[in-house]
Amino acid sequence: MPVVTHLECSRCRHRVSMEAPPAAVMPPSFCPVDGGALLVRYDMEVLRMRARREQSAELSARPGASAGMWRYAEVLPEVTPVSLGEGWTPLLQSWRHPGLLIKDEGANPTGTAEARGMAMAISLVAYFDGGMQGRPPLAALSVGVAAYAAAAQRKAHLFLPRDLSPESELEAVFYGAEVHLVDGPAEQCRRRLEHEMSLRRAAKDAGEELWIDLSAPQHPFRVEGDKTLGYELVEQMGWTYPDALLWPLGDATSLVGVWKAFEEMEVLGWVAGRRPRVYVGEIAADRFAASPDSSSLEIVTASGGRVVRQDERAALAKVLDFARQEGVFLSPQGAAAAAAFESLAGSGEVRPDERIVLVNPSAGWKDGDALRAAMPLRRLGRFPTSLPVGGIITPI
């Protein structure tokens, strides 16, 4: 892969080789020296020459919808894409707030922004183990990998909590993934996956099949897919930065990719000016609990933004509000970012004359079970014509 040169730590610049890794071993996610995020680095001179031909005007003339995120091929690793049409999602103008734009990542093939990272990671895995016997199975902690594993004709082993949503169960079953149900939360699933991986490594000489671990959300391969969201945003805004981004907490790691895109585009001369302030919408409740990793928190702080804690009720009310008033079915995470917009506008931290982008990381229907519980809506055999009063997200 001539243009990719190495992996580099985003903190201390420590270098890790990007040579073809040994069979079924993925490069690490974090710096061995200080734990910083490892990022794929390119020969920027070659990239600049390659990308010059595709300066913004010419790139904008390309059919976006057909190429999806792969329209940025010049600034991506040279691989044969395993693609389901991810990327080039709509940037919608809010009907009610003139400065507010909604980047709806729910329009991705698997209904989530995760599709970008998965498509790139699996394409890179196929590149690196192309010469190997067979196609080693993939191991992951989210159902998002199932469709891409099927597209790449690989087996996927998913480690999922026993109380997974019916929507996730359907996806896993239909895409043919093997599901390992785990008692306990996501952390327990990770431990089970790691245990499984180490057993297989130990028994490798006895012919045990190795799996490829795609579970780390901030793996450098996934970050290369995530970053296309940054390229897309800037292109869709006429090669300029928005003033602020409203970021969903559950998707905080993809912020690392987006920030990398901004950095690359500045070097290439595709965009200039002040990068957006990033505000992360967080729900103060266990149900959607997640915490931004240190790399994304560093970005939020450096950007001049902050984490905005939201009451669960206020956040979930935004799912209903945006569905009814804008026609956009936000996920609970996207709704937390929408609720953050309201409080930031109220305090004057974002102004009406600013251009603000709300990133909705996945389609609301993917969290159908949680939303039904919050409503509370049950399958009654008849469709409710009005929502029950007193539920968490009845209209306020």
Which residues of the chain form contacts with Zn ion (CB under 5 A)? 9, 11-12, 14, 31, 33-34, 36
- Identify which of residues 12 and 267 has a Cβ nearer to Zn ion in the complex: 12
Q: How far is the CB of 4 from Zn ion (least distance, A)?
A: 19
- Identify which of residues 9 and 182 has a Cβ nearer to Zn ion in the complex: 9
Side-chain-side CA neighbours of residue 341 (13 Å)? 30
DSSP calls for 107-153: GSTTSBTHHHHHHHHHHHHHHHTTTSSS---EEESSTTHHHHHHHTT
Q: How far is the CB of 220 from Zn ion (least distance, A)?
A: 13
Q: How far is the CB of 15 from Zn ion (least distance, A)?
A: 10
Beta bridge partners of 100: 356
Cβ-Cβ contacts under 8 Å for 183 (sequence gap 6 or more): 161, 162
Q: How far is the CB of 77 from Zn ion (least distance, A)?
A: 22
What six digits make up the tokens of 112?
């989530």
Q: How far is the CB of 29 from Zn ion (least distance, A)?
A: 12
Q: How far is the CB of 14 from Zn ion (least distance, A)?
A: 4
- Identify which of residues 12 and 46 has a Cβ nearer to Zn ion in the complex: 12
- Identify which of residues 31 and 256 has a Cβ nearer to Zn ion in the complex: 31
Q: How far is the CB of 6 from Zn ion (least distance, A)?
A: 13
- Identify which of residues 168 and 296 has a Cβ nearer to Zn ion in the complex: 296
Sheet holding 212-213, edge to edge: 178-182, 156-161, 138-140, 212-213
* Residue 106 near residue 362 (C-beta atoms within 8 A): yes
What crossing angle do the helices spanning 254-268 and 228-236 adopt, rounded to 10°? 60
Sheet holding 15-17, edge to edge: 15-17, 4-9, 38-42
Classify 108 in phi/psi space as left (phi over 0), alpha (psi -120 to 50) or beta.
Answer: beta
- Identify which of residues 33 and 173 has a Cβ nearer to Zn ion in the complex: 33
Q: How far is the CB of 146 from Zn ion (least distance, A)?
A: 33
Residue at 312: amino acid letter: E
Residue at 218: amino acid letter: Q
Q: How far is the CB of 137 from Zn ion (least distance, A)?
A: 31
- Identify which of residues 31 and 330 has a Cβ nearer to Zn ion in the complex: 31
Count other Cβ atoms within 10 Å, centred on residue 304: 14
| Cα–Cα dist 30/377, whole Å | 43
Q: Where are the beta strands (DSSP E) in the chain?
A: 4-9, 15-17, 38-42, 91-93, 100-104, 138-140, 156-161, 178-182, 212-213, 244-248, 277-283, 306-310, 356-360
User: Is residue 6 packed enough to be buried (19+ CB in 10 Å), middle (13-18) or exposed (0-12)?
Assistant: middle
- Identify which of residues 32 and 98 has a Cβ nearer to Zn ion in the complex: 32
- Identify which of residues 11 and 50 has a Cβ nearer to Zn ion in the complex: 11
